[in-house]
């Protein structure tokens, strides 16, 4: 993950260059289903079936919030939308206002991140995530946590980010970040701690039971406790078995970076390329 926040960009753009990976995601990249939220487009839905005075007040507040956004005065935009949320809105209107609040928390967090106010930015991203739990919020949370030196929190956020459907261009970078941070947490550790052995045993049992997601979760916990390369191989195998070749490929690649030329890793990589050629290229 790269060196600074990116400006708003098209969601179909190519993956960022290596030097630009550490950038916070803009709303266009977070919103997979429609273009960036436009508060004024929501005004009609917010006011829809309500009494005229409430509708007029809601539309007025949304208009004010939009003006504040255009001025990048996100604090006042949040305050204004909060007043709108306190109105007796319809269910649909309340959902639109919640969505718009989430958008502004994202934008405010980006502004704070650019100004190197990482603790404050983290609060905005976490608040937005609480409103609309889109896992891409976790990408920005991971970046803030890294800046604040909280490696465990960054790892957790990366894992939550990867919980979304695969097919995103930055999966390899995020997996690489998980591996790197896990190793940094345990630099110099040689023996596998007992806690890691416990997690490994539980993950193995879950693997045999074909409970792939749970097995992956516990292999990841084991790796964080003691970053041994074999855990990466096991994670890759679990992803292969659960028919998620992109993750399998990238974890296998991480494994082979630790043990170049390893026979089982090489065999797995060849098998992934053979079985999922159209998915891993």
What is the number of alpha carbons within 13 Å of residue 89 lying toward its C-beta? Answer: 26
> In this model, does residue 5 exceed pLDDT 60?
no
Q: What is the b/e burial string over 15-45, where b = at least 16 CB atoms within 10 angstroms of the residue's CB?
A: ebeeeebbbbbbbbbbbeeeeebebeebbeb
Q: What percent of the chain has pLDDT over 90?
A: 56
Q: Which has more confidence, 201 or 279?
A: 201
Q: Which has more confidence, 140 or 190?
A: 140
Per-residue model confidence as pLDDT tens digits over 247-266? 999 999 999 999 999 999 99
Mean pLDDT of 17-30: 51
| C-alpha to C-alpha distance for 63 and 141, rounded to whole angstroms | 29
Per-residue model confidence as pLDDT tens digits over 78-133? 999 999 999 988 888 889 899 999 999 999 999 999 999 999 999 999 999 999 99
Predicted pLDDT at 82: 95
Mean pLDDT of 223-243: 93
Mean pLDDT of 17-22: 43
Q: Which has more confidence, 153 or 16?
A: 153
Max mean pLDDT among 6-15, 73-82, 192-201 falls in 73-82
What count of other Cβ atoms lies within 10 Å of the Cβ of residue 249? 24
What structural domains does the chain harbor?
A: 18-172 (1.25.40.10), 186-280 (1.25.40.10)
Mean pLDDT of 175-189: 82
pTM confidence score: 0.75
Q: What share of the chain is helix, strand, coil (3-state, %, to 5)?
A: 70, 0, 30
- The contacts of residue 159 (CB under 8 Å, 6+ apart) are 178, 220
> In this model, does residue 21 exceed pLDDT 50?
no
- pLDDT band of 238, cuts 50, 70, 90: very high
Mean pLDDT of 193-219: 93
Q: What are phi and psi of 35, to 5 degrees?
A: -70, 175
Yes or no: say if 1 and 143 are a contact pair by the CB < 8 Å rule: yes
| C-alpha to C-alpha distance for 141 and 129, rounded to whole angstroms | 9
| C-alpha to C-alpha distance for 95 and 46, rounded to whole angstroms | 8
Q: Which has more confidence, 30 or 210?
A: 210
Q: What is the mean pLDDT of the chain?
A: 82
| C-alpha to C-alpha distance for 189 and 191, rounded to whole angstroms | 6
Predicted pLDDT at 32: 41
Mean pLDDT of 3-27: 43
> What dihedral do alpha carbons 75, 78, 80, 85 form, nearest 10°?
-160
Yes or no: say if 61 and 84 are a contact pair by the CB < 8 Å rule: yes
């Amino acid at each position: 993950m790269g060196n600074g926040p990116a400006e708003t960009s098209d969601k179909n753009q190519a993956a960022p260059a290596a030097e630009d990976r550490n950038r916070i995601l803009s709303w266009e990249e977070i919103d997979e289903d429609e273009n960036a939220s436009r508060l004024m487009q929501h005004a009609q839905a917010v006011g829809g079936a309500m009494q005229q005075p409430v509708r007029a007040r809601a539309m007025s507040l949304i208009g004010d919030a939009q003006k504040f956004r255009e001025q990048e005065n996100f604090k006042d935009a949040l305050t204004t939308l909060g007043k709108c949320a306190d109105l007796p809105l319809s269910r649909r209107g309340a959902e639109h206002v919640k969505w718009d609040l989430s958008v502004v928390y994202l934008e405010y967090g980006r502004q704070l991140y650019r100004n190197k106010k990482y603790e404050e930015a983290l609060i905005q991203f976490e608040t937005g995530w609480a409103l609309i739990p889109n896992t891409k919020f976790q990408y920005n949370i991971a970046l803030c946590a890294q800046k604040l030196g909280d490696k465990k929190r960054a790892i957790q956020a990366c894992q939550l980010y990867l919980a979304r459907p695969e097919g995103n261009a930055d999966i390899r970078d995020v997996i690489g970040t998980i591996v790197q941070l896990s190793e940094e947490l345990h630099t110099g550790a040689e023996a596998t701690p007992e806690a890691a052995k416990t997690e490994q045993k539980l993950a193995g049992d879950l693997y045999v039971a074909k409970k792939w997601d749970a097995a992956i979760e516990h292999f990841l916990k084991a790796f964080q406790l003691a970053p041994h390369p074999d855990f990466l191989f096991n994670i890759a195998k679990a992803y292969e078995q659960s028919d998620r070749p992109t993750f399998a490929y990238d974890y296998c690649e991480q494994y082979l970076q630790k043990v170049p030329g390893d026979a089982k890793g090489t065999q797995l990589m060849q098998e992934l390329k053979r079985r999922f050629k159209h998915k891993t290229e």
